[in-house]
Amino acid sequence: MKEGLPGYRGIALKVLSDAGVRVEDMVRIRRGSEVYEGILFQRSQYDDDEHIVIKLKNGYNVGIRVTPNLVVERLGEGAKAAFTPPQPPKMNPSLPKVSILSTGGTIASRVDYRTGAVTPAFSARDLYSIIPELSDIALIETQEIFSIFSEDMGPEHWKTLAKVIAHHIEAGAKGIVVAHGTDTMGYTAAALSFALQNLPVPVILVGAQRSSDRPSSDAALNLLSAVKAATDLPIAEVLVAMHADPSDETVLLHRGVKVRKCHTSRRDAFKSINAHPMAAIKDGEVKILTEEYRRRQGGQILELKPDFDERAGLLKFHPGFNPDIIEYLVDKGYRGIILEGTGLGHVSKRCHPSLKRASSEGVFLGMTSQCLWGRVNMNVYYTGRDLQAIGIVPLEDMLPETALVKLMWALAQAKEPEALKRLMLTNIAGEISSKTSFRWGAP
Amino acid sequence: MDYESLGLKVGLELHQQLKTASKLFCLCKPELREGEAELKLLRKLRPTQSELGQVDPAALFEFKKGRKILYEAEDRTSCLVELDEEPPHPLNQEALDICLTIALMIGCKPVDEIHVMRKIVIDGSNTTGFQRTCIVALGGLVEISGKQIPIQTICLEEDAARLLGIEGSLVHYSLDRLGIPLVEVATAPVLSSPKEAEAVALALGRILRATGKVRRGLGTIRQDVNISISQGALIEVKGVQKLELVSKVVEYEVQRQLGLLAIRDELKARGVKWEDLTDNFIDVTEAFRNTACEIIRSSINNGGIVLAVRLRGFKGLLGKELIPNIRFGTELADVAKFWGRVKGLFHTDELPGYGISSQEVTELKKRLNASEYDAIVFVADRRENASDALMAVVERARQALVGVPEETRGPNPDGTTRYLRPRPGAARMYPETDIPPIVIDEERIARLRADLPELPELKVERFIKDYRLSRKLAEQIVDSDFVSLFEEIVSKTHVAPSIIAVTLTETLKTLSREGLDVEALPDEQIMETFFLIDKGELAKEAIPDVLRWLLRSKGSKVRQAMEALGLRMMSRNEVEAFIDRLLMERKELLAGDKSKAFQRLLGIAMSTLRGKVDAAIVQEILRKRIQAEAGGPP
């Protein structure tokens, strides 16, 4: 990549650098009788090397093919592509303190000239300044922790995030809001639920399904509701705040260990599974939807347990599943495997030898269901009993992803297999429900 | 009027819906919904910055108005793409081909690589808050009545959602129209008279129709007209739906700008200065405590106030009519309504009146310390709205000192216009990141070039030669919305082309004059009418009656029309029996001259049989019978 001409390669790069122009210069491009004038724009690296992109005076971009008779001329400096954060609004020191921590994701994305798609770019401060109504709800402190898409988040990021949150809580925040990419927001929510125990204030994860550079972004309502939840909610747990339906009206708060992204693109992609949403926020009013929650109360001291052991895997069983995958994980030194079995919690008897080996080598084996809705029960069919005899632990109504995250966390807390098993079966953050309510609905 | 010396410059942006199988960015039907809405959703839009970091002032304003948008959707015509719940699918290639075809017909140069853009529009007409649009071609030239008219751009864009209504701050849209492909052809601002503007609009419309790939009917073609005169300003009139209205719109706009310039000169002569116009608003609610004015009283009863401002030196100017029914006072009222959400305003040029007494006017003048040269504007509403409204009035009055402010205006049915919003800038263009650039290769252009539709002039000549239409009829049909339908019916039936052409021009015009909405007539029903004529089940004489009945009974079929109108065709036997009976009853007519008798009897027979049998058959049978009666050889 040539300095000043990002995204251009090959023949297009040669023509432009020979002409001595840079991206954002005002240029005139001629080919015979055709004349194009405009600002030279950056090109996506995945587009071909045969076209030059300019922004015409009317605001439209067009691509011009590089041909031998093309003449490129520099006319002067053009306008710069930039995002200018507006002045943040005046803060009201009498309002409760809320920290907005940003990690990246759609809620904080705008156009990326490298790929032509969107990329994380807004800092928490930017978000605050483009949604000035936030200043009516809380005294906001912002911190940009990462600027990454959520698929790049991992246990190391959860650890850092948990520590930063703990720091903000110690500094007196009445609630924490974490702006997060939606793809793995459920995993992070579960991770924080285990890492941040005895929470004195709510920790609200919030995302957007439409990037915040679009007028129709759901980011504003989600973020406003998340901040409202952070200040007002009597629930001191890790929660996820997202649209309840396609309208910009109601935001639901889901328990961090019971929530899953269930749609690729809709605003209401997040659903509580095997649980009822905890609260709803509409027109700035908070409505509590459940009686079972950890109350926010003074005097609570946060217990930070931010360590995770990555040597845990999640395997989805399917017809034709090759048990070699289990052997591979054992060979690679994995210390635990969550199985996403069929129905009530089954895998083919073909897997028995590999599972026996794993069990005998001290690898923790936990069973969840790929049905997602409902509870595993490995007593109904003898196949389930066989699996239990091998040492597979039924994990009740835990979501497979939650079980995986919990296992990573538990591996870092408990060294002994029995202690690990006990920890996995202990309800820490509401991940295991004592009963299966008919009110929770089904898919 | 000497438009040339006024420096009139008109540019046109013609928008035409394309006739594609699906919408521009998804596979939904590009049609308006017939059934009830299945889904309603409420949204809000907020302004964002363009890639150059600017916020469009018009966009910002829409947001500040606190607008909420209620969308209605139906499954056949919308999916998650229209709901803005799913990213757009790839650009419709059929629509792109039609656009490229139009570009080649007009002699525009297709761009090498298309970049889809987002044009920020946050009035709710797009669920995304932007309209997706792209330049397909640049720089063409069309010759219209001997003048070379430069075409600046040809764009392909998605149509907006269909406005159903506005209630306060809630705007109601249907999502069916959103995403229907539109071509936009923009001329350079070089047209120099209202007549020329209209001629160019019609000629461009004709070229678009020549592709045979455009929709017809009200709202399928819309014209934006940019108008300026030397001392005036650039005014964009958005969404003129009838091309015939273009010249009227231009005439009135020139007149309006001249009127505003005259007001400017008068204000100058009166020595009114910028600083004379202040935001000094006075609460005059007390002066109207016992008013007989219904509007003011009810506003006060609802907790509103009456807020007034003095416009120094404006007396008499607010009542000045710029164009029919639009006074300078109307222009002030328009901005007050827009920026202040008020229902209207009062000004002293129209008072006493509306139940406001002369004592109240005197009191008002006293409270505002107004001289006999001043005008007073006041509104009755909530304090915040009233204050916003008067702020806009003062701003607009200040602009009157300079001349004509740049605005976006909307057309009224008579060709006059009303204020819509401030003119948006280029600050609202942003790349559509969900769609990668589309390369237009040379093979594609070559393929389209080899198959270009016939130009309208050539079509007229061909219709005269091949279908034996008169020049007038050929021109009429080529100019109409029905040229593709005409050729389709000609190719699929044996009905005489002139009858089809007359039906699609004269007959429909007559029905339109009767007040019927002929554009609502579905192509399929017109086609079916001619199929039935072709099969001998319907007489061509019955066409006007059938079409009239169909237009009055929306959603009905031709056969239902025939049933209702008693237009079932008679068999030959039935006709023969009818004529035999007629001859018996009117024997006396056969006594004299045979050809006279034939004419009389034919007249009587046809008065009953018209529409139920082809007239030629009646003639043939009658002639045979008369000759048989006379005993001569047939």
Paired residues of B191 in beta bridges: B10
How much is the pLDDT for A124? 59
DSSP type of residue A38: E
Q: Are the beta carbons of B426 and A62 separated by less than 8 Å?
A: no
Lowest mean pLDDT among A396-400, B83-87, B255-259, B556-560: B556-560
> Which residue in B109, B115, B118 is closest to A63 by CB distance?
B115
**Average pLDDT of the residues in B121-134:** 91
Q: Establish if B134 touches chain A: CB-CB under 8 angstroms.
A: yes
Establish if A79 touches chain B: CB-CB under 8 angstroms. Answer: yes
Cα angle, residue B519 at apex, residues B516 and B523 outer, rounded to 5°: 120
Chain segment B422-458, per-residue pLDDT in tens: 776 655 788 898 999 999 999 999 999 999 998 888 8
At B187 the pLDDT is 96
Q: Is B115 on the interface with A (CB under 8 A)?
A: yes
As beta bridge partners, residue A97 has A139
Rounded to a whole number of angstroms, the distance from the CA of A248 to the nearest CA of chain B is: 5
The verdict on A118 touching B (C-beta cutoff 8 Å) is: yes
Confidence band (pLDDT; 50, 70, 90) for A311? very high
What whole-number distance in Å separates Cα of residue A368 and Cα of residue B82? 37
A80 Cα to chain B: minimum distance (Å): 6
A185 versus A442: the higher-pLDDT residue is A185
Contacting A residues, span 30-59, partner chain B, CB-CB under 8 Å: 34, 36, 44, 46-48, 51, 53, 55-59
**Side by side, which strands form the sheet with B282-283?**
B282-283, B305-311, B375-381, B346-347
Please give the residue of chain A at the shortest CA–CA distance from B63. A215
| Angle formed at CA A437 by CA A431 and CA A438, multiple of 5 degrees | 140
Residue B541, pLDDT score: 87
Q: Indicate the average pLDDT of chain B.
A: 90
Which CATH topology does A312-425 take? Rossmann fold (3.40.50)
Residue A413, φ and ψ in degrees, nearest 5: -100, -40
CB contact under 8 A, B85 and A44: no
Q: Which of A182, A184, A188, A383 is catalytic?
A: A182
Given this model, what pLDDT does residue B617 score? 87
Q: How confident is the model at residue A128 (pLDDT cuts 50, 70, 90)?
A: low
pLDDT at B237: 96
Q: Do B80 and A118 touch (CB under 8 A)?
A: no
List, in sequence order, every beta strand (DSSP E) within B179-278: 181-187, 221-228, 235-240
Mean pLDDT of A234-261: 97
Which residues of chain B does A57 touch, with a Cβ-Cβ cutoff of 8 Å? Answer: 426
How far apart are alpha carbons B43 and B104 in whole angstroms?
41
Q: Do you find a cis peptide bond into B352, omega within 30 degrees of 0?
A: yes
pLDDT digits (tens, 9 = 90+) for B176-228: 999 999 999 999 999 999 999 999 998 898 889 889 899 987 788 999 999 99
Predicted local distance difference test score (pLDDT) of residue B345: 96
Show Cβ contacts of residue B382 under 8 Å, excluding neighbours closer than 6 positions. Answer: B303, B304, B305
* Structural domain boundaries in chain A: 10-77, 97-304, 312-425
Q: Between the ranges A104-108, B47-51, B489-493, where is the mean pLDDT highest?
A: B489-493
Interface test with A, best of B111, B121, B152 (most A CBs within 10 A): B111
Better-scored residue on pLDDT, B174 or A442: B174
- Are B430 and A65 in contact (CB < 8 Å)? no
Give the contacts of A20 (CB within 8 A, at least 6 positions apart).
A74
A261 noted as active-site residue:
yes
**What is the average per-residue pLDDT within B324-333?**
94
Residue B478 CA: distances (Å) to CA of A142, B179, B204, B468, B530: 65, 28, 13, 14, 19
Helix (H) or strand (E) holding B429: strand B429-431
Return the pLDDT at A412.
97
**Are the beta carbons of B42 and A84 separated by less than 8 Å?**
no
Find residues 227-246 of chain B whose CB sits inside 8 Å of chain A. Answer: none
% of chain B residues with pLDDT over 90: 64
Residue A183 annotated to the active site: yes
Give the per-residue pLDDT at A1: 44
Residues in chain A with CB shorter than 8 Å from the CB of B44 are 220-221, 248
> B356 has which bridge partners?
B353
CA nearest B378: which of B342, B426, B425? Answer: B342
For chain B positions 366-425, those within 8 Å of chain A (CB to CB) are none
Chain B, nearest residue to A214 by Cα: B48
Give the C-alpha separation, B250 to B193, whole Å: 8
Residues 204-263 of A with CB under 8 A from B: 209-210, 212-217, 220-221, 245-249
Q: Based on the residue annotation, tell me whether A182 is a catalytic residue of this protein.
A: yes
Residue A160 among the catalytic residues: no
Determine whether B439 is exposed, middle or buried from the number of CB atoms within 10 Å of its CB (0-12, 13-18, 19+): middle
Q: What is the mean pLDDT of chain A?
A: 91
Asked if B57 and B425 touch (Cβ cutoff 8 Å), the reply is yes
Q: Which of B46, B109, B141, B430 to mutate to test the interface with A (most CBs of A within 10 A)?
A: B46
- Using alpha carbons, list the distances in angstroms from residue A269 to A133, A211, A218, A243: 25, 15, 12, 8
Superfamily of domain A97-304: L-asparaginase, N-terminal domain (3.40.50.1170)
Burial B576-598 (b: 16+ CB within 10 A, else e): bebbeebbeeeeebbeeeeeebb
B634 band by pLDDT with thresholds 50, 70 and 90: very low
Confirm whether A10-77 and A97-304 share one CATH topology. Answer: no
Report whether A185 contacts A154 (CB < 8 A): no
Q: Does A62 touch chain B (CB under 8 A)?
A: yes
Please give the pLDDT value at position B274.
92
Host H or E run for residue B379: strand B375-381
Q: Choose the mutation target among B85, B136, B184 for the interface with A, i.e. most A CBs under 10 Å.
A: B85
Cα–Cα separations (whole angstroms), residue A329 to A341, A351, A370, B410: 17, 13, 20, 69
In SS3 terms, B466-516 reads as HHCCCHHHHHHHHHCCCHHHHHHHHHHCCCCHHHHHHHHHHHHHHHHHCCC
Question: Could you give the C-alpha distances from B358 to A210, B288, B297, in angstroms and in order?
Answer: 58, 12, 17
Instruction: Tell me the shortest Cα–Cα distance from A216 to chain B, in angstroms.
Output: 5
Interface contact A247-B437, CB threshold 8 A: no
The answer to whether B38 faces chain A, any CB pair under 8 Å, is no
What is the average per-residue pLDDT within A325-346?
A: 97
Which one is catalytic: A55, A97, A228, A261?
A261
pLDDT of B588 reads 83
* CB-CB neighbors (< 8 A) of A118 in chain B: 433
- What letter does residue A8 receive in the DSSP assignment? -
pLDDT value of position B261? 96
- Is pLDDT of B259 > 80? yes
A340, containing H or E segment: strand A336-341
Which chain B residues are within 8 Å of A265, Cβ to Cβ? 80, 85-87
Strand, coil or helix: what is B77?
coil
Computed on alpha carbons and rounded to an integer, the radius of gyration of chain A in Å comes to 26
Contact B52 A80 (CB under 8 A): yes
A257: pLDDT strictly greater than 60: yes
Say which CATH topology domain A10-77 has: SH3 type barrels. (2.30.30)
**pLDDT given for residue A117 in this prediction:** 54
